[in-house]
Amino acid sequence: MKGNVFYHNADDSRRWVIFNGEIEASRIDTDWHGWLHRTFNELPSKNPLPHKPWEKPHQENLTGTLNAYAPAGSIRSGGAPKTRSDYEAWAPE
């Protein structure tokens, strides 16, 4: 993601990232993830990987944020839970 800074030592035996903001692994896009894990050795800034037209842009993990996915019927989609008529709540007597 923008603002992350990537480093390697002189003999390239160690590679690491300093995050811009929250430390979260999903904030590293796929090109840099491949470089960090030695899938390839060329820096993505010098030799960007080709991307297919059908690939979606990288998106960090949104779990726990307001932008997280909420399926239809979720208590988070549209505010209050929707009333249901397909079942009746049980009540002890």
pLDDT for the residue numbered 1: 59
Q: Is 18 helix (H, G, I), strand (E, B) or coil?
A: strand
- In this prediction, residue 10 has a pLDDT band, given cuts at 50, 70 and 90, of very high
Q: What is the mean pLDDT of the chain?
A: 85
pLDDT for the residue numbered 77: 63
Do 17 and 4 contact (CB within 8 A), yes or no? yes
pLDDT for the residue numbered 79: 56
Which pTM was predicted? 0.64
Residue 4 sits at the vertex; the CA angle it makes with 40 and 66, to the nearest 5 degrees, is: 115
Q: Could you tell me the two tokens for 36?
A: 């960090």
The length of the chain is 93
Give 24-56 pLDDT, tens digit per residue. 888 898 889 999 999 999 999 899 889 899 998
More confident residue, 87 or 32: 32
Neighbours of 93 (CB within 10 A): 2
Q: Is the pLDDT of residue 87 over 80?
A: no
